[in-house]
Amino acid sequence: MSESSKPSRTRAQQRLDTQERILGAARQAFAELGYEHTTIRAVAAAAGVNAGLVMHYFGSKEQLFTRAAQIETHELPPGEPAEALLSMLRSRLDDEPAASLALLRSVLTHAGASDDFRDSGRAWLSRVGEAIPHQDADLRAGLVTAIITGVIIDRHLLKLSALADASADDIVELLRPCFESLAGEHTTP
C-alpha cells in the first residue's frame, strides 16, 4: 500500500520533471553557444541542479545533445508544393523551435550533430522530392531546403540586420517566385 503516502508527485514524476528542466536548459544553451561552448556545468546550473546529475541522467554530453536536439520531422502541409513550403517557412520565420536552432548552430562543427541533421533531413527531403513534379526533383528539393536553411540561419542565428528585422510576410512574398520556379507545377520541358 502506501509508502510516502501523499503521491502528489511520485519519485518517478519528479525525475521526469527534472529531466525536462535539464533538456530545456540544454536546448537553449546549445542553440545560443553551439555544441563545443556549451558545458555540462552551465546546463546544470541553468536547470538548478548539479553537473553530476546531468551525467547520471544522460550518460554523456553527446547523448544529452542528441536528446535535446531531437526534432519532430517537419510535416509538409498538403496541397500545392510551393505554397506548402512557403507556409512552413512562414511559421519558422516567426518562431523556430530551440531544438532545431541547437541542431543548426552545431551542425557545422560537431560530427554528431551532422548525423542527427542528415537523419532528420532525409525523410524531409524525400517527402519534398515526391511532391515536386519534375524529373530533377531531388536537386530541386535540395535547393529549396538550402534556401530555407540559409534564411533561418541568417535571421535567427546570425541575426543579420536585413533578415532579422524584416517582417515574415515581406520575406515570404519576396521568396514566392523562387519557390514557385523551383517547386511549382510547371510543365516539364
Partner DNA sequence: GTCTATAGAGAGATAGAC
Partner DNA sequence: GTCTATCTCTCTATAGAC
Which of residues 34 and 49 has its CB atom nearest to a copy of itself in the complex? 34
Residue 108: count of CB within 10 angstroms of its CB: 12
Which of residues 51 and 178 has its CB atom nearest to a copy of itself in the complex? 178
Q: Which does 150 bind (CB under 5 to 8 A by kind): DNA, a copy of itself, none?
A: a copy of itself
Residues 121-160 that bind a copy of itself (CB under 8 A): 121, 125, 136, 138-143, 145-151, 153-154, 157-158, 160
Binding a copy of itself (rule: CB under 8 A), the pick from 9, 15, 16, 36 is 36
Reduced to 3 states (helix: H, G, I; strand: E, B; else coil), residue 103 is: helix
Q: Which does 75 bind (CB under 5 to 8 A by kind): a copy of itself, DNA, none?
A: none
Question: How far is the CA of 129 from the CAs of 12, 18, 142, 159, 184, in angstroms?
Answer: 43, 40, 8, 30, 12
Site for DNA contains 88 (CB under 7 A): no
Sign of the CA dihedral 105, 111, 113, 114?
A: positive
User: Taking CB under 7 A as the rule, which mask of x and - marks residues 33-72 in contact with DNA?
Assistant: -----xxxx------xxxxxx-xx--xxxx----------
What is the distance in angstroms between the CA of the first residue and the CA of the last residue of the chain?
A: 74
Cβ pair 63, 54 in contact under 8 A: no
CB proximity list for 80: less than 8 A, separation 6 or greater: 184, 185
Residues 44-103 that bind a copy of itself (CB under 8 A): none
Least CB distance from residue 188 to a copy of itself, whole Å?
A: 13
Binding a copy of itself (rule: CB under 8 A), the pick from 104, 116, 131, 132 is 104
Cβ pair 129, 81 in contact under 8 A: no
